[in-house]
Structure 1
Amino acid sequence: MKASIRAWGSLVFGFSLALTAIAVMAQTPGTSVDVLHWWTSSSERRAADQLASQLALAGVQWKDAAIPGGGGMAAVKVLKSRVLMGDPPDVAQLIGTTLTDWADIKLVLPLNGVAQRQRWQSVLFPTVLDLVTYKGDVIAAPLGIHRINTLLYNRRLFAHIGLAPPRTWAQFEVAAQKLQQAGIRPLAWSDEPWQIATVFETVLLGEAGPTLYQDLIVRRHSAAWLDPRVERALQRLRWLRNLAGENPQERVWTEGARELMNDTTGMMIMGDWAKGELMAWGANPARDFGCIEVPGTSGMHLYSIDTFAMLVSPRQREAVQEKIAEVVVGPVAQIAYNRIKGSVPVRRDIDPSVLDSCARQSWDTFSNPASARVPSLAHRMAADENIKDAVAQALWRYLTDPKGDTLETQRRLATIIRTPVMER
């Protein structure tokens, strides 16, 4: 991936004359900023609007460039195209390993001055600061921490049937059986590859534990993929899919959340952005739904962190870009944004009592030194786009082929995830 990014980057520099021409025409920067992102669901849209309102109070006008599409793949394509045309956005939603790819080709504005003025070293969680630091530079403004290993359940259905939230897979199986007997779909499911990968990595974390998970996903020890615990995770994944019935479909994740809200589905395994969506529709975590860790992952936080990168621009917007970073990482914007998005603040100096019950669980786990914090592969925290997509496709083939062999899938995954992570 890095090689392809660098090759693409060489094309970018071939457009330097065009960029210079634009700079001449735009020597007086305004307060309007062009923000490219992929937040298009109800809660995501509201969260983006909240950031826009916070920036407006600071005299910065948010010019929205939302690109719909699962997981941001379409947005990244649009971003590359705009850079090649000499019209990069001022701000782009870039996350995980894609940040370092763009930093390597010198298209990301360092934010060292902002980080020093706002004491990010002291107020941000170390895991967060490490994510946005590369080769000694702070390269992005962190927005919020999502917890991937989240099991949402319908409180009304569970109370009606007399079920307790499942803390173990044995309890989960009992709950699924009783929900089926009541004519209710036990688990929201989609055959969309990224959603399959999201469920798999959280099941894998529970079956493997954090140490083996790190060997598999972060350190990429190929031989570890033949471990029996990986086999159990794949078999559990297939069992979960079978709960969806005979013909599972590829559906957007919001459809599963809607089923949960409408009392037609009992449970959903999804990152806590699904909680934000439920709340955007009027549901209340104290009344309508609850959040617990996916069985086997208590005391573990499988995370994805949203970040904004400030792109190097011919319009010379450094001052306003730094202002954006200051605002979105500030305590007021952090609380306001994350309440809506479903995530939790990246700052460790906020009062967690202002968070809802689901967010407090995530916050308490992430902030606990004894907890295991592990990066998501499905959401670009631990692998580049090519590896992430290849893993998702391998899992999709395994589940959708009735003859898909578990051991063969383990071998395929070992082949895909075999390159050591480069030292940061």
Structure 2
Amino acid sequence: MSAHAQSLDVLHWWTSAGERRAVDQLVQQLDKRGLGWNDAAIPGGGGMAAVKVLKGRVLAGDPPDVAQVIGRTLTDWADLGLVLPLDDVAQRGRWKGAMFPVVLQVVSHGGRIVAAPLGVHRINTLFYNQALWARWKLPVPRSWDDVAQAASALRRAGVTPLAWSDEPWQVATVFETLLLAEGGASLYAELAGAQRPSAWADARVLRALTRLRWLRQLAGESPGEQRWTSSARQLFRGEAGMLIMGDWVGGELMAWGAQAGRDYACAPVPETAQMHLYSVDTLAMLQSRRKRDAAQEKLADIVTQPSVQLAYNQAKGSVPVRTDIDPSQLDDCERDSWQTLAHPGSRVVPSIAHRMAADESTKDALADALHRFVTDPQQTPERAQERLVAIVKGAAR
């Protein structure tokens, strides 16, 4: 760190190898510009532990200067006056002309810019081990029939077809991709908006639940709850052939020395091509008695600049929030994500499981219900659907 750097406390949950590489890129870029990053990383997949720590610090009157606050949580905190508006930074940086519209929508609330966007993750991503695919001459998994064919061949070869975890947030992540696949973007948007709870009773939601159970069965018996990094490691080692997870898996695989197109490849989850189920990484500048406004605005300006955007997202597996970068500098998986975002005919919808749509309590309740469903073979898809409908109706009251 530069000797004269002013430091900001930053609370986040980027703790895996790929996430740390991405954070290191930000730290280096900030350091070059005389601004320090005092790291307060809280481990825990999905950020549940970090959100609890953050709430505790705010209630204690000791908020961090900067925090990873995303989606609905961000807008709730903005309503409470806890975040520093960044309108001047956005105007100076011409964010309106340089960023994807969906990104500006995510960081805007009440006519103000309330966070600095870092990158866009694509949730509806299916990763597969390229060496296994080449060895067994398997089809690119573009359809569920392709997935079934590959699973059969992998099972015969003694390879687990699909890496899996029963951890609730991971089950919810897979399920929302199936809602998009089975229901299409229009129904998914209704489900995410929760403005018509009866939409959750649609037959296509039932099909998504049935598909979820089928996928869980591909993983073998009692896969249990494991970190998403463990599932990525199975894919990396060729112990599992496929993994459905957000594209942060690409960042993790790269941190271990893998290369997209050589060691692994990815495709949109079947039936979701030209759709982008997104989660946006954002940093909120929190208000406090310390009055670090100038340094906080400087950080927001730096992390949204093109060169910093590329450095961060190339390491994270996500894509820049800007439309003015050169996509040839992205790997195969990242490029498809960025081009899908940029294509005017694509359908772009918010993640329920990753706070882009549902509030924290509804998100957690849905994840818990899905966890109970996949771990209880006696529970029917019909009963699980009834539970989901009840949760959403209760949240809408």
Letter of the structure 1 residue corresponding to residue 101 of structure 2: P
> Distance between the aligned counterparts of 1:148 and 1:311, measured in 2?
28
Q: Does 1:239 align with 2:214?
A: yes
CA contact (8 A) 1:220 1:418 kept: no
Distance 2:259 2:336 in 1: 16
> Could you say which residue in structure 2 is the equivalent of 1:59?
34
Give the TM-score of the pair, scaled to structure 2.
Answer: 0.97
Provide the C-alpha distance between the structure 2 equivalents of 1:209 and 1:137, rounded to a whole number of angstroms: 32
Tell me the distance in 2 between the aligned counterparts of 1:340 and 1:30: 24
Is 1:73 the equivalent of 2:48? yes
Distance 1:232 1:84 in 2: 43
Are residues 1:121 and 2:96 paired? yes
Matched letter for residue 206 of structure 2: E
**Per-residue Cα deviation, 1:23-67 (whole angstroms, up to 9, x for no partner):** xxxxxx971110000000001111111101111111101100001
Could you say which residue in structure 1 is the equivalent of 2:125? 150
Give, as a single letter, the amino acid of the residue that structure 1 aligns with 2:201.
L
* C-alpha displacement of 1:204: 1.2
Q: For 1:157 and 1:30, how far apart are their aligned partners in 2?
A: 48
Aligned to 2:368: 393
Match runs of 1:83-102 below 5 Å: 83-102=58-77
Letter in 2 for 1:225: W
Note the C-alpha offset of 1:420.
8.2
For structure 1, the 5+ residue unaligned runs are 1-28
Indicate the residue corresponding to 1:210 in structure 2. 185
Percent identity (aligned): 60
**What amino acid is the match of 1:204?**
L
SS of the residue aligned with 2:393?
coil
Letter in structure 1 aligned against 2:87? N
> Given the alignment of the two structures, is residue 185 of structure 1 paired with residue 175 of structure 2, yes or no?
no
Contact kept in structure 1, 2:5 and 2:31, CA below 8 Å = no
State the 1:84 CA deviation.
Answer: 2.3
Aligned residues: 394
5 Å-filtered alignment, 1:95-110, equals 95-110=70-85
CA distance in 2, matches of 1:246, 1:420: 34
Q: 2: distance between equivalents of 1:218 and 1:89?
A: 31
Q: Is the 8 A contact 2:195 2:396 kept in 1?
A: yes
| Map of 1:194 onto structure 2 | 169
1:301 is aligned to 276
Tell me if structure 2 keeps the 8 A contact 1:111–1:137. yes
Distance 1:417 1:302, change over 3 A: same
Offset at residue 86 of structure 1 (A): 2.2
Partner residue, 1:176: 151
Letter in 2 for 1:354: Q
Q: Deviations over 1:285-308 (max 9, x none)?
A: 121000100101011000000000
Distance 1:421 1:150 in 2: 30
User: Offset at 1:421?
Assistant: 8.0
The answer on whether the counterparts of 1:353 and 1:360 sit within 8 Å (CA) in structure 2 is: yes
Could you say which residue in structure 2 is the equivalent of 1:356? 331
Equivalent residue, structure 2, for 1:21: none
* Aligned counterparts of 2:385 and 2:109: Cα–Cα separation in 1: 32
CA deviation profile, 1:120-166 (whole Å, cap 9, x unmatched): 11101111001110001100000000000000000100110110211
| AA of the residue aligned to 1:245 | G
Amino acid at match of 2:303: V
The amino acid across from 1:248 in the alignment is P
Q: Partners in 1 of 2:379 and 2:59 — Cα distance? A: 42
Q: So what's the TM-score if we normalise by structure 1?
A: 0.91
| Corresponding residue number in structure 1 for 2:20 | 45
Amino acid aligned to 1:144: G
Distance 1:50 1:269 in 2: 26
Does residue 225 of structure 1 match 2:200? yes
SS in 2 for 1:417: helix
Does structure 2 retain, via aligned residues, the 8 Å contact 1:147–1:362? yes
Amino acid at match of 1:381: M
Judge conservation of contact 1:226–1:407 (CA < 8 Å) in 2: no
1:282 to 257, 260, 268: 257
Match of 1:310 in 2: 285
Residue-by-residue CA offset, 1:226-251 (whole Å, 9 max, x unaligned) = 22211111011001101111212100
- Check whether the contact 2:5–2:34 (CA below 8 A) recurs between aligned residues: no
Runs (5+) with no aligned partner, structure 2 = none
Deviations 1:373-402 (A, max 9, x none): 000000000011101100001111111111
Paired with 1:262 and 1:30, the residues of 2 have a C-alpha distance of 41
Q: Distance in 2 between matches of 1:328 and 1:255?
A: 30
Q: CA deviation at 1:116?
A: 0.5
Q: What RMSD in Å do the two structures reach over aligned CA positions?
A: 1.4
Residue 220 of structure 1, CA deviation: 3.7
2:5, 2:36 within 8 Å by CA — same for their partners in 1? no
- Alpha-carbon distance in structure 2 between the residues aligned to 1:56 and 1:30: 7
Matching residue of 1:15: none
Q: Distance in 1 between matches of 2:41 and 2:190?
A: 36
Counterpart Cα distance in 1 of 2:213 and 2:59: 43
2:8 equivalent to 1:36: no
Q: In structure 1, what is the equivalent of residue 87 of structure 2?
A: 112
Partner of 1:383: 358
